[in-house]
Amino acid sequence: MTISTPDWVKQAVFYQIFPDRFARTQRQTDSPAMNVLLEDWQAPPTLQGYKGGNLWGILDRLDYIQSLGCNALYLTPIFQSACNHRYHTHDYYQVDPLLGGNQALRDLLDAAHQRGMKVILDGVFNHASRGFFFFNDILENGPHSPWIDWFRIHQWPLSAYDGDRPANYESWVDNRALPQFNHDHPAVREYIMQIAEYWLRFGIDGWRLDVPYEIKVPGFWEEFRDRVKAINPQAYIVGEIWEDASPWLDGKQFDGVMNYPFTEAVLAFVVGDRMVREYVDPVAYDPYPPLDAPGYAQRIQDLLDRHDWQIQRTQLNLLASHDTARLWSIAGGDRGAANFAQSSVALATLLLMTYPGAPSIYYGDEVGLGGGTDPDCRRSFPPPEDWNPEVLRLHQELIQLRHLYPALQGGDYQTVLQEAGAYGFVRHQGDQRLLVLVNSALQPHQGICLLSLGIEIHEVKILWGHVDFTLQENALHFHLPARSGAVLVLIWTDCADT
């Protein structure tokens, strides 16, 4: 079977946005739904409070997002809901009025597409909310509701709010606020398929699927893919699966997943035992214990061997998200932190931007925004005076490098160095060969990188970073400072032509 995945994703750099926390609009509106009491923007985030960020605010920041080099947006849920994160969906056909409603999404899509930017939305199709009309009808009418088969009801009466009594219905992770759909029911299945189709026709460019592994009905995701691709063959389907996603990445279901196994490996290698454990221990990934270069090389090779190359190129690679602590804090970083924290951010970002797949930046990470676990990882985007200019410049430089050199997007990946804390690999596409070197150790690394690539290298140039080197017959003798990295371009001729 030939696997086909969206071409645009292979050149994409995503910017993930939690809409309530990114930007408030400067536009005036007469909607009473927008004129409500909001939390102070600069105050620490809470589990239940609203900051008032909206889709028009995102539209107003598209210039900034493009200046980073990001050309695709991933928005966490935007549909009407009674919570700031909106994973408790009330109405799948209405954008939340606090976000500007359907018109704000229309405006954002039009503006993004005019700039050549793509937009994918978060599809929460495993569960709804107590306020979802069909479940609310069950709460009102009990066994007389015509929609009782849409959910898995065990006994009566239901207890949707009283934690001292059994809920008597299935919900995601036993959270009675999130009643789980009965996906075996044909009407439920068709309802979800039509939601996906509706918003694709509206103009979105794909779906990020929330906890799709919970939907175990045979053929469900195969049908979902068929119907999505029938409307837009280039639509992106990416699942939230934290572990080995091989069962879903067979070319018949998803184009990729949020690549948390890559996140684990990078954090274990570049942050290592400097990691703030309280920020990673409660989360569903495991970036511990630390990895040296051979350990990292083995982990990366396992990931590269796991999936078809077309799938590899459309994996969504990330260092942090709305479900994890932020990289700056995981690395011990805060304003005025020790240099190792900044080095961890730099090295991790270097590995992210040079790895096969689509990199994803979690809003604010590019300016050094900190944050622990939920809700602290969902802080409001800071004003410019609170940005870290070094971190911002780092992201701009590495994203630009990725766009300038197609080999960093789609080139073959070959490990050429794995010694102590020093790791190196070559990305090769056409006549481009780029060498990436990373030293995660606290000491400088002096060594030799043998570039036995079937070519004769006659010159090496530094594109980014700093490394001292000499080239002797396809062997790079180099000195790489502690906690540093570099990207080099190899100027070569084919041995067969010499």
Catalytic residue numbers read 210, 240
Q: Which residues contact 223 (CB under 8 A, 6 or more apart)?
A: 189, 193
463, 436 Cβ separation under 8 angstroms: no
Residues in the chain: 498
**Of 16, 191, 25, the residue nearest 93 (C-alpha):** 191
- Reading the block at residue 173, the tokens are 């992770």
434, 427 Cβ separation under 8 angstroms: yes
The H or E element containing residue 209 is: strand 206-209
Going 225 to 229 to 231 to 232, the CA torsion angle's sign is: positive
User: In angstroms, rounded to a whole number, what is the distance separating the alpha carbons of residues 330 and 293?
Assistant: 20
Q: Which residues pair with 16 in a beta bridge?
A: 74, 362
Residue 105 main-chain phi, psi, to 5 deg: -65, -40
Beta strands in 409-483 (DSSP E): 412-419, 422-429, 432-439, 445-450, 455-465, 468-472, 475-480
Going 40 to 45 to 49 to 54, the CA torsion angle's sign is: positive
Q: Number of C-alpha atoms within 13 angstroms, CB side, residue 207?
A: 30
